[in-house]
Structure 1
Amino acid sequence: MSVRRAALWSMGAQYATFVIQFTASVLISRLFLLPADVGLFSVALAAAMMVSIFQDLGITRFISGQPQMQRELLPDYAGVAVIIGWTVAAVVAIAAPLVALFYHQPALAPLLWLIAASYVLTPYATVPAALLVREMDFRALFTVNAGSALAGNGTALALAACGFGASALAWGVLATAAARAILANWGRPVRPRRPRDMASVRPMLGFSSMSFVLSASAAVGQRSQDLIVGRLLGIAATGLFSRASALAGQLTTLVTGAIGSVFYAAFARKRDAGEPLAEPYLHLVSCYTVLNWAAMIGLALTAEPLVMLLYGPNWMGSAPLLRWTALGEIFFVAIPLQMDVPLLLGQIRRLVWVNLLDTLAAVAILTAGCFISLEAAGVSRVIYGFVWWAIYAVYLRRLIGFRFSALLAVYLRSGICALAAGLPLILASLSGVNLTNLSLIMLLVLSGAGVLCWLASLVLTRHPAWTEIRMMLDALARPVLARVRG
């Protein structure tokens, strides 16, 4: 499968998953759950995922990025994944009462037990899904991702409507894991077996030893957010913070999340062929930024009306957090594949130290913000975003060899296009329109005008993304035209 065709399938999976997750989150938050319910689940999930860093141990990256794959060893790799997954599930289940005691929330324990049950099933999808990525079979991966999202979110929505409260979300996690395991093995069945000897899995474990340190550091930085907010500002504040972070993160995933997995496999091929990565990486940066920056500018400008229209008045406290989180995302998408490219180039040891520095900054900056207020915690996302960008921009420049002047030129074009996308909203605000009370129709009109301005700016600035958009549209139209002619 070609890179562009794989990207189309991967984007289709991201869009389908986003629509399912977004629709479920809106209905659940607006009709059935309060911020305290979502906050309770967020703390439980974050606590469980702090332990789940042991689960993958880099198995997915090892299989999808390995230059030569010994397929007869795949059942051994799957067996290791199952052993680790069951161990993680046991640790989470045992630690559940302690976590509930630490947060003075007895209801946390049952949620953690349900999440632990999902970790029993998760490893059965690890190796099959990694094989699909390695083979760039994103058509089958579409079925896995979209199908599991539909099963999990459908379960959560149905149980929330029945009055299950926060536990509805935990049951959704369990349903997602079960569906993903079934669908992944339907696409690429791999039966786990206990490794016959250590020699068969030693290469994977050698890769995993450093990958675990890397995953642990990243997990502390990412998953500790809800834990820190929950401990310092309370469960309800965690719900507001989590909802704002989730909405911005879901939009980022919708816009460019599909590109990362495709380009990881594509860069692996370029590495094996000995081709330089600087030029294709800058091209990737241009596509990432021009899409995401426009989306984040729009999200920051329409934070209040979006929260009111989607989630209702109970969630308006998350609107300022959403604005700051969206602005922080501008930095986080400016250096894509910051973990994957160093791994492909065999720089895992140095990446571990860089990631530890990143994690320390994340925890320190968020903790300082939480000691001030909830909104200061939101502002801390922008400060941390800049620090994050500085760390990885310097690191990847040395690793790949691109010039900062070329990177800044990419940013300039993408920034102009992003401002053009937000121009109708900015002009409406300057003319006296209260963006906070925008109706749905007015919001759609201004957003549509922003898309047109964005497309025009792509053409005027001769942005590389315009060529990609034309090629993808052509790839979509070609089979349709062929069928019509037939």
Structure 2
Amino acid sequence: MPSPPPPAPEDLAHFSSGRARRAFTGVLWSGVNALVPTISGLVVFLFVSRILEPAELGYVSLAVAVVGTLGAFSPAGFGDALVQRSALDGRHLDTTFWLCLVWGGALYLGTVLLAGPIAALMREPMLNSLLPVVGLRLILDQAAVVPSALLSRSMQFRSLALRTLIASVMSMIVCLAVLQAGYGMWALVASQLVGAIVVCVVSWMAVAWRPGRGMDRAALRDLSHFGGFASGSRLISTINVDQLLIGPLIGSTGLGLFSFARRIFQMLNDVLTGALAGVAYPLLSSMQNEPDKLREAYLATTFLSSVLAFPCFVGLALIAEDLIPLLFGPQWTGAVPVLQWFCAIGLLSCIGILQAALIRAKGRADWWMWYQLVQQILTGAVIVLLARMGIVAAIAGIAIKTWLVWPFVARFVGRLLDLDIRSYMAQFALPLAGCAAMAAATSALDHGTALSGAALLCTKIAVGAAVYAAVLVLLGRKRLLELRAVIGAGRRRG
């Protein structure tokens, strides 16, 4: 007879007791998890942007996009299934580990074999050298799927934050050292690999579980539905359709400007939403059978996210024309309008992260996958149609498309929560009012003051922040106090 499956480790259970405490401390640690790589990335970016040309940044961005596309064809979504599933034992962990590791090895072999043909197809010879090196991430990322899922499921946000801290610092040191040695764009490649190695090693050091010898068919069946759709969702979201099309259709310089603006946008987005994004999925998954608590938690996090994120994205769009040449150099002035359109997308990205967490927590990974597929198809179509008009027209079309599609997700979220759409949309009224007042105040400075350069930039930031804060206090004091009371009660119950 086959031996019985090993018992599940204690840290595999959903944490109902102490859930609020874990969530609120998790927000703090997840904030660190988002802030540290952003700071280190900004330091690296300040040096890199002054040494590399847009075309060189475009080469590395394209290589990373190709590897990311190949890596998207992996079963990494089975890690999400480990987080979402209520009943879990050691067989599920072993099966997911070996499935991901073998798949990662196969993907890397394919990357090496296809490097030459891909470089020829995209008319970028540098890819033939870059892809085999950048592609090593495929094995490292897949090896870390199960330990990362265990840390997330057990809400060990401190361990996740420390892992990111170590990886970010090491990546920054290596990148700057290679850059100083005169190897140019290879500094970015070295940074990518070092970060992946550190994440993999530290993840395994943080968990006590170690894999068994093989896979189990019954466990694979248990995970296949959610894991399959979650993997499909990762496939769709990881494929950088925009970069893959912008490079061949608009050129390396256009891709470099796009990648520059996207990098700045992503750093800001990670800081603003990272604290909630890391906590939202495991927290909402643990509440999936408690509709009232789920609705309350979702509305609170949505409101907080928009209050914090909306003014930052609107503010960045308002000061981008002054900030970019001053901080990164005049060669990046062409990226200013691209960044401003990214900021328009950012208003929805901070909400979309929470929407994705809720939909997956409710077990609807299938719906989210199909939605992302539609978004990617529309993005590709927009780029193909607008490529001849240049990079600014292409990103403007992507932003407008994103806003036109978003209401469909909002309605679906309302159905999942049994929530009236007006109540949902009301969460955004206060931050939008504050942003409108902030925009009016900073715009007045352009015409009503003789300041310029750094002095004007600092004045805009100070005035914009003060005006936004004043609107929050005047119009939203009652809501903010109510939310503070709810949070305080949740902490006491936790």
What secondary structure sits across from 1:462 in the alignment?
A: helix
| CA contact 2:75–2:99 (8 Å) conserved in 1 | no
State how far apart, in whole Å, the 1-side matches of 2:400 and 2:101 are: 39
Shift of residue 465, structure 1, vs aligned partner: 7.8
- Structure 2 residue corresponding to 1:27, chosen from 47, 52, 69: 47
2:267 alignment counterpart:
250
Alignment of 1:427 with 2:444, yes or no, is yes
1:172 alignment counterpart:
191
Out of 126-135 and 33-42, give the one that drifted further: 126-135
| CA contact 2:80–2:230 (8 Å) conserved in 1 | no
| CA contact 2:80–2:227 (8 Å) conserved in 1 | no
Alignment of 1:458 with 2:475, yes or no, is no
| Superimposed CA distance per residue, residues 91-129 of structure 1 (whole angstroms, 9 cap, x where no aligned partner) | 222221112112222111221111111222222222112
What secondary structure sits across from 2:136 in the alignment?
A: helix
- Structure 2 residue corresponding to 1:5, chosen from 6, 9, 25: 25
Distance 1:216 1:37, change over 3 A: same
2:69 alignment counterpart:
50
Shift of residue 282, structure 1, vs aligned partner: 2.3
State how far apart, in whole Å, the 2-side matches of 1:385 and 1:341 are: 19
Distance 1:88 1:373, change over 3 A: same
What secondary structure sits across from 2:47 in the alignment?
A: helix
1:443 alignment counterpart:
457
Alignment of 1:98 with 2:105, yes or no, is no
Distance 1:74 1:451, change over 3 A: same
Alignment of 1:379-390 (within 5 A): 379-390=396-407
- Structure 2 residue corresponding to 1:317, chosen from 334, 338, 359: 334
Shift of residue 468, structure 1, vs aligned partner: 9.2
Distance 1:448 1:71, change over 3 A: farther
1:329 alignment counterpart:
346
1:133 alignment counterpart:
152
State how far apart, in whole Å, the 1-side matches of 2:479 and 2:306 are: 10
Percent identity, aligned pairs only, is 23
1:411 alignment counterpart:
428
| Superimposed CA distance per residue, residues 361-385 of structure 1 (whole angstroms, 9 cap, x where no aligned partner) | 2221232222321210121232122
Shift of residue 56, structure 1, vs aligned partner: 4.3
| Superimposed CA distance per residue, residues 193-222 of structure 1 (whole angstroms, 9 cap, x where no aligned partner) | 4424322333223332222332223234xx
| CA contact 1:287–1:464 (8 Å) conserved in 2 | no
TM-score by length of 1: 0.90
State how far apart, in whole Å, the 2-side matches of 1:465 and 1:26 are: 40
1:74 alignment counterpart:
93
State how far apart, in whole Å, the 2-side matches of 1:138 and 1:469 are: 23
The number of residue pairs the alignment matches comes to: 469
Alignment of 1:256-275 (within 5 A): 256-275=273-292
- Match of 1:171, as an amino acid? A
State how far apart, in whole Å, the 1-side matches of 2:409 and 2:419 are: 13
Distance 1:328 1:127, change over 3 A: same
2:130 alignment counterpart:
111
Shift of residue 79, structure 1, vs aligned partner: 2.0
- Structure 2 residue corresponding to 1:393, chosen from 410, 433, 447: 410
Distance 1:95 1:361, change over 3 A: same
| CA contact 1:332–1:385 (8 Å) conserved in 2 | no
| CA contact 1:33–1:160 (8 Å) conserved in 2 | no
Q: Which runs of 5+ in 1 are unaligned?
A: 476-486
- Match of 2:29, as an amino acid? W
State how far apart, in whole Å, the 1-side matches of 2:270 and 2:318 are: 19
1:63 alignment counterpart:
82
| CA contact 1:20–1:149 (8 Å) conserved in 2 | yes
State how far apart, in whole Å, the 2-side matches of 1:471 and 1:423 are: 32
Instruction: Name the Cα RMSD after superposition.
Output: 2.5
State how far apart, in whole Å, the 2-side matches of 1:248 and 1:190 are: 37
What secondary structure sits across from 1:136 in the alignment?
A: coil
- Match of 2:142, as an amino acid? P
| Superimposed CA distance per residue, residues 218-276 of structure 1 (whole angstroms, 9 cap, x where no aligned partner) | 234xx111111101110111011011012112101111222012121111121144545
- Structure 1 residue corresponding to 2:245, chosen from 217, 220, 228: 228
Out of 107-116 and 420-429, give the one that drifted further: 420-429
1:481 alignment counterpart:
none
Shift of residue 353, structure 1, vs aligned partner: 2.8
Distance 1:98 1:463, change over 3 A: farther
Distance 1:448 1:188, change over 3 A: farther
| CA contact 1:59–1:208 (8 Å) conserved in 2 | yes
Shift of residue 422, structure 1, vs aligned partner: 3.9
| CA contact 1:334–1:389 (8 Å) conserved in 2 | no
State how far apart, in whole Å, the 1-side matches of 2:28 and 2:469 are: 19
Shift of residue 285, structure 1, vs aligned partner: 1.8
Out of 119-128 and 196-205, give the one that drifted further: 196-205
Shift of residue 332, structure 1, vs aligned partner: 2.9
What secondary structure sits across from 1:54 in the alignment?
A: coil
What secondary structure sits across from 2:74 in the alignment?
A: helix
